[in-house]
Amino acid sequence: MAKEVRLADVTITLDDEGDGVPVLLLHGFPATRQLWSGVVPSLTEAGFRVLVPDLVGYGTSDAPPGVRVDMAAQGRWMLQLLDALRVDRAVVVAHDVGSAAAQLMVASASRRVRGLVVLDGVYEDEWAMEAIASIQAWNPQDAHRLAPVLARRLDRGGVLSEMLAAYRGEQGGQRLIRAARDLDSQQTARIGESLRHSGVPALVLWGERDTFLSMDEVGRPLAELLGAALIPLPGGHFTPLDCPTQVAAALREFLTRLPS
């Protein structure tokens, strides 16, 4: 069920489904919480409470003009969201650059994170920033053209097009440009030691056909840093959309094995 949570300066829209151990699902760029639509039912059926927000400045979660919506800020807002929901500890599952926010949560507040799962995510300053350079340079006067161009470029057979609907039109395109320009890969460049010594159980899942973030160059060193297993999945970069059944199965196995 979708609801809004108002924090000091932002409003977060999220789906809050099921009961049990809380699991926070974070999307990346240029996604929304719809990324997880094929995964959530399996987790709620398995007895977990699933919290699925739109990151601030993405989808329908709002931030005032002038407030940066970078991943360091997202990590802080997600911890505040857990506070607002009276959730002391949660398993954090994150995709793409959303995993930067998740890693920063672990680095700054490991006690709040019961477990960490990264799907096709970032490692140190490897964020595939070259893939969004054209969006960062996009003329805001042509913002209405951005979502359709992205949908064609990513060639998702209509699945990603539906998720990108939140960014249609001039206002939606400007939100996407703002989000892209606020991404800063240096925010996770020097947190490796904090992650290595956090003690948070972790798992890394990766699409075998990911053309944005290489499993060998990004996924394997990230898994080694986290002391985590690396599980290849039969998909591209957007694994929660490409193979939701396999993603859900891997998550359920990991979640059921976490210490209480």
- 214 and 97 Cβ atoms separated by less than 8 Å: no
Q: Is the peptide bond before 30 cis (omega within 30 degrees of 0)?
A: yes
Query: Rounded mean pLDDT of 46-58?
Result: 98
* pTM score: 0.97
Residues 6-44 have pLDDT tens digits of: 998 899 999 999 999 999 999 999 999 999 999 999 999
pLDDT score recorded for residue 158: 62
Query: Rounded mean pLDDT of 62-72?
Result: 95
Give the model's confidence band at 157: pLDDT under 50 very low, under 70 low, under 90 confident, else very high: low
- What residues have CB less than 8 Å from 94, skipping those under 6 apart? 25, 26, 28, 101, 102, 116, 117, 118, 119, 121
Give the model's confidence band at 162: pLDDT under 50 very low, under 70 low, under 90 confident, else very high: confident
pLDDT at 161 over 90: no
pLDDT score recorded for residue 163: 86
Q: Measure the CA–CA gap between 228 and 231, rounded to whole angstroms.
A: 9
Which domains, ranges and CATH numbers included, belong to the chain?
A: 2-128+185-257 (3.40.50.1820)
pLDDT score recorded for residue 164: 87
pLDDT score recorded for residue 156: 53
- 227 and 201 Cβ atoms separated by less than 8 Å: no
pLDDT score recorded for residue 216: 97
Give the model's confidence band at 244: pLDDT under 50 very low, under 70 low, under 90 confident, else very high: very high
Residues 197-234 have pLDDT tens digits of: 999 999 999 999 999 999 999 999 999 999 999 999 99
Q: Which residue has the higher pLDDT, 8 or 46?
A: 46
